[in-house]
Structure 1
């Protein structure tokens, strides 16, 4: 058994942990710098530790830092990996010989020597001082560096700028607005007709989101339309796929539906009268037919079809009753014949509707994408998809030999973290980088060159950003063949032990994935590796609760209740209260936690609540915990302009920019920035002669609270006219103590929102004139989401 000291995030060294020999052996094999390795590792199995150990062993083996390339999925992961490497190397500098020998053995080298100790102590300085240093970066950062090195060969601007999400959103808004204006000026043009069709069939926000998604779907939607060459050609392809002709029109199908041979419109009045004399079910059908008679155009067709279709748009089991058939045999036969005639027409109508909507989307999305591309080209910008596309094109171009030469002399070892989230196109870039590792001049001077990848298909983000979990296994098999054909060492190593989870947790995961259908959906192999907890893992338990069901009764809410509030009788609120109660029970009941030999009482900070998506349940759980006064870190993500602290800051800006805006000033005065109560605000607002600002001036002498609020407001009015938005808000939150007042009322969760707000104010000044009005408009136009470091 080997004992290892583990360091937690705060830097405190935890108690030593016993590592079983099989785990130790798997980690040593995975970090062997002379072997290419693909590691399949579940969460908590120590894969990041092994990745860091492999980097350190490469450095100990004499590999120059600039020859190592580490690719991660996020910037945060890259920073974390680099920090762990430098922390380890920095600690080695100060260790005594015995301690350093133990650390080197812990890294996987069985027999440290004096020379190795000397090299280990020099690694920290050499890694920091080497030009280029240790390359730990995201795939997009790598592409940026390559394109900057070869701008001419890649056909990109020499000083291009990478487009961030906020600027991309703004550019898409401008591109969309330009297309909408062009369409409105020429309603009879193809783009004008497309806009009319879109307005008739989709909400404004929904359609804008669909257009944006289509324009940014580089690998699918835009690749298809680019290959088609025009919206008309793409529309013909859609028509063929749906089984309709390009010449088919919705109006023709609608007329065929309502003026068919069985129940044409002239017969509707008499039919409705006959139905009204029948049973309740027949009378309901009479009502539907009457609605069809009152409607016009497309709505009339929809109402008529309601006679034959349920609310779920499935065929009715019986259109009329047997009693009606007995009394009205001819009409009963007509209904039966119509029920047989309509289904093919309904399907064709749906297909044509889909085709027409798709055609509208095609025309608008292609035009928006063209505007978006044009502005990028004009301003010398590349978005994240451009980085991938341009890099792949660079490798496929005639200059690929030059690029390979530069790369070949710069990278000998590639390490890939979170490989299950690497998209096929990103894998293609990696494949180009390592293509010479096993052949040609790349295998120069018998130099050992390796690839290391670690991932877990079960944790894949799946289609998001193009991730394909099966790609990990496919690339593993492909590289395994290449390295073995070149007689180079290659291993596939599963990490089956978990340092984090208990026995019950792992068994539950195994229970799901032992189903061959489920496992084969993400992996080509049939044998699913079972997972094991360490011997000293704490007890674990999985409880399956019954579904929470909303109460039948409707909760009566006050007239002041928010429109988007979740009723207390809803399933989400009921479940959130149960979660809150369970957490309280576990903590108050003295539940023990921690691994064996290091047990302690459970605290609220030990509890993590995971939900499938951020929706009503997400908000209800946070609200329930806060109402119960249980300390909670809050949401891991928040919409900046929906945070109450930012709303207060924005309302203050509105009041300063337009002094007549009494509502904005009232919101600001009631906020922690001015801290007036509702009664004090009522005193100002009730029966006032002029604006709320005038009322505050008039009442300033009556109370100290009013005088303090007036003085602070006057100070804001003086500053915002002469200072930039960032300088103004930095003074308001810092020098004037606004941040402290906000945190006292709203808690430390508001810190993240305030920091992001200031960062955006500073960012806005770098790209636009520094005006408060402009900053407010810019802030409201973008949907900024803050990802909090939990």
Structure 2
């Protein structure tokens, strides 16, 4: 658990903190509009403040707003930065001369005069009136604007639209379905045979996930296929990488395994009888042999191999039969040992051939699905997020795009990049094109200083997520520094060392953890360890390490008494969750103080942040413990829409309206907050009814006011849903009929996010499909929709979320829950990248579809271990 201070609730105006002169000087250097700068900023060191400050100083320096380009990592960050710029400029308009001078000095300009004050007061209107406004946007928004501006040069549809994640999932589902239907119509085709192999290798859901991953893995799987020259050439490379003869078939290898000279199949029963005369371990081997004899095909091979391989790791047994058996039957013992030596290389060949066939099957299906996906995008004039980057970079790379470069060069004089450590190499390449003329030829125009500013922190990188490569941060810094200095331009590498957020104990603890050079160098390219310093007024801070929770002794529970799902009350996760809940209550009820010196206040529930690595048992246990203790909690930061109880109720109501004979759907709807019936009411309706539940409701309503109200509301729904669109129907149900109020009354305000997303989806569905309730509900059930809740909203509630989801947030008290869990699961690796061998360094390597770790051939096992080591390193 980490306790520190925060900058205060955004709704409160906190007293300004005294900032050391050294900090102000460093911030002024970083925001100097006359110099390019590359800033390495520790967490909580004020990088967003300096970004805003640099934009304002550029505007004060006379730079037109349209000549400034700010690139952020998320839309929320872009909106936040733009809001802070406009808020500052708008505030300046209201200040008198003395206070405005002080504000300008605060921005980094030493001696403002009357002219500068006049300029400052005009900036708000100037920024507002700029066509298109301030260009503060994500890299994808920038690419969208460029492609829309130059569709002919980029070879994209002139009025293209961008696929969001939801539409992309739907389009990929259709692409996959078309391939599967083609394969099922012609089982003897290449795709048909590939589907049979693939389906035999994985469950339906797993196979669908692998195909999607392969289709969207443009930098790996699809890049390798394209570089190989097509599907057949790539298929040949798989066998070569695994050391498998292209003529070798899996049936031949499996036949060689069971038809050996040492233990012929015709003698398995006889050999088993001999084993029966020995120890228990040998009798188990006899049972395995007899079981294999009763089977055929792959099952027989697998069961025969059970004699020679361990059950869990699937590695060769140290001893196949016992020493006692060997002593009594030396000849048979030698046969077993010879057979183990014979089949060991065959097992390796079988594994390699299996992965080759499985990957070749995936290759045929994924390339066909990817072709369908690209075709539909082209027909509908759509681009996905990867297309935006690829098309923009391809356009800028072409020699014939001089006109594009000319327009870019005339449109941007200053580029600012936020979260530079999470900028992928391809995104950096786009930035390089934009600033390519800043230091050369006429691009370095007389009288115009053109700059780049980037700020980031390698230690905060999201690593491989979305292609981020934190090593690029240092590489690009060095490259840009060399480029600008060689051109005689000022370039200032700056480091922010002071923390406005954390106390001394926390920073010292972080330094202690990373005191080992090997650990430090794993996250940072610099030779010198960064300095972490606190402000003089930082409040007290503390780090507590709790002992690990151990599970209670396991008790035998009869099957019918065992819980259907959920965690045991004695599990470590539940016990830890209860301790966290108790500690949160103690901190708040005891009036523990927080805040920096001069701005102290008691802790609130909204000051607590509980972080987990992944949403799993510990995540759910903490939320449940807080709810059971009546501690206000914001709920999950992400939720599956169709798994939320309020949405389940809305969909069941639709089912009941569409099919009045669906008693279960109607019962669920009636028991929901929409109608408010209880179990006793439903029992009264359902017990000994002669017809449907709907007919029983009609029958009993006259004698029961509660049932009468429910029937009246149901009849209103029945009249409306046949004439109104899904959005209009649900908008009335949740709004005019008061459904939202009743749902929130029972489920709490966190249901608001799910209901808002539900209505938005209903409205969006009507724009792209016939507006029918049946179609909407069917589409909703097949879509894998996730709602991302805004956890930055200031409420007096405990927040529980993942570490990545909390990026950019802060809180006085932070609980780190599952710090001892493994950061990765090698069993989840589906696509494994094999070494490139003698290929060019930038050539995509062969990618194979791996199965269980225990079934890896040597080449795949080594590649998996390398990928795991890289993940652990991150």
The Cα offsets for residues 582-632 of structure 1, whole Å up to 9 and x where unpaired, read as 323333344332223333322221110000011121111111111111111
Q: Give 1:83 shift.
A: 0.4
The Cα offsets for residues 738-759 of structure 1, whole Å up to 9 and x where unpaired, read as 0000000000000111111111
CA distance in 2, matches of 1:262, 1:717: 75
SS for the counterpart of 2:144 is helix
Unaligned runs of 5+ in 2: 1-5, 792-874
SS for the counterpart of 1:447 is coil
CA distance in 2, matches of 1:218, 1:143: 18
Q: Which residue of 1 aligns with 2:23?
A: 23
Q: Give 1:303 shift.
A: 1.5
1:788–1:250 distance in 2 versus 1, CA, 3 Å: same
Q: Which moved more, 1:504-513 or 1:690-699?
A: 504-513
Q: Which residue of 1 aligns with 2:595?
A: 594
1:156–1:555 distance in 2 versus 1, CA, 3 Å: farther
Q: Give 1:62 shift.
A: 0.6
The Cα offsets for residues 736-785 of structure 1, whole Å up to 9 and x where unpaired, read as 11000000000000011111111111111111111111111121121111
SS for the counterpart of 1:722 is coil
Q: Which residue of 2 aligns with 1:470?
A: 471
TM-score, length-scaled by structure 2: 0.88
Does structure 2 conserve the Cα–Cα contact (< 8 Å) formed by 1:553 and 1:569? no
Q: Give 1:238 shift.
A: 1.0
1:389–1:21 distance in 2 versus 1, CA, 3 Å: same
Q: 2:630 aligned with 1:626, yes or no? A: no
The Cα offsets for residues 478-516 of structure 1, whole Å up to 9 and x where unpaired, read as 101100100111111111111111222222322333332
Q: Give 1:8 shift.
A: 5.0
CA distance in 2, matches of 1:287, 1:558: 29
Higher relative contact order (CA 8 A, sep 6+): 2
SS for the counterpart of 2:474 is helix
Q: 2:151 aligned with 1:147, yes or no? A: no
Q: 2:252 aligned with 1:227, yes or no? A: no
CA distance in 2, matches of 1:380, 1:703: 57
CA distance in 2, matches of 1:631, 1:438: 56
CA distance in 2, matches of 1:470, 1:728: 52
Q: Which residue of 2 aligns with 1:75?
A: 75
The Cα offsets for residues 378-437 of structure 1, whole Å up to 9 and x where unpaired, read as 111111111111101110123321111111111000001111111111111011101111
Q: Which residue of 1 aligns with 2:446?
A: 445
Q: Give 1:232 shift.
A: 1.7
Does structure 1 conserve the Cα–Cα contact (< 8 Å) formed by 2:164 and 2:384? yes
TM-score, length-scaled by structure 1: 0.97
CA distance in 2, matches of 1:435, 1:747: 53
Q: 2:554 aligned with 1:547, yes or no? A: no
Does structure 2 conserve the Cα–Cα contact (< 8 Å) formed by 1:470 and 1:524? yes
Q: Which residue of 2 aligns with 1:741?
A: 742
Q: Give 1:556 shift.
A: 4.5
1:268–1:551 distance in 2 versus 1, CA, 3 Å: farther
Q: Which residue of 1 aligns with 2:109?
A: 109
CA distance in 1, matches of 2:454, 2:11: 27
CA distance in 1, matches of 2:497, 2:347: 54
Does structure 2 conserve the Cα–Cα contact (< 8 Å) formed by 1:580 and 1:624? yes
1:241–1:94 distance in 2 versus 1, CA, 3 Å: same
Q: Aligned ranges for residues 342-381 of structure 1 at < 5 Å?
A: 342-381=343-382
Q: Which moved more, 1:300-309 or 1:745-754?
A: 300-309
Q: Give 1:641 shift.
A: 0.6
Q: Which residue of 1 aligns with 2:158?
A: 158
Does structure 1 conserve the Cα–Cα contact (< 8 Å) formed by 2:498 and 2:533? yes
CA distance in 1, matches of 2:541, 2:190: 63
CA distance in 2, matches of 1:551, 1:715: 54
CA distance in 2, matches of 1:110, 1:90: 21
Does structure 1 conserve the Cα–Cα contact (< 8 Å) formed by 2:420 and 2:454? yes
Q: Which residue of 1 aligns with 2:490?
A: 489
Q: Which residue of 2 aligns with 1:3?
A: none
1:771–1:675 distance in 2 versus 1, CA, 3 Å: same
1:246–1:569 distance in 2 versus 1, CA, 3 Å: farther
Q: Give 1:579 shift.
A: 2.1
Q: Give 1:279 shift.
A: 1.5
Q: Give 1:302 shift.
A: 1.4
Does structure 2 conserve the Cα–Cα contact (< 8 Å) formed by 1:554 and 1:569? no
Does structure 2 conserve the Cα–Cα contact (< 8 Å) formed by 1:555 and 1:567? no
Unaligned runs of 5+ in 1: 1-5
CA distance in 2, matches of 1:556, 1:628: 28
Q: Which residue of 2 aligns with 1:567?
A: 568
1:580–1:173 distance in 2 versus 1, CA, 3 Å: same
The Cα offsets for residues 160-206 of structure 1, whole Å up to 9 and x where unpaired, read as 11111111111111111110000001111110011001111101111
CA distance in 2, matches of 1:516, 1:681: 67
CA distance in 1, matches of 2:332, 2:561: 54
Q: Which residue of 2 aligns with 1:215?
A: 215
The Cα offsets for residues 58-80 of structure 1, whole Å up to 9 and x where unpaired, read as 10111000000000111111100
1:561–1:267 distance in 2 versus 1, CA, 3 Å: closer
1:720–1:559 distance in 2 versus 1, CA, 3 Å: farther
RMSD: 1.6
Q: Which residue of 2 aligns with 1:312?
A: 313
Q: Which residue of 1 aligns with 2:46?
A: 46
The alignment of Structure 1 onto Structure 2 pairs a total of residues equal to 785
Q: Which moved more, 1:19-28 or 1:403-412?
A: 19-28
Q: Which residue of 2 aligns with 1:267?
A: 267
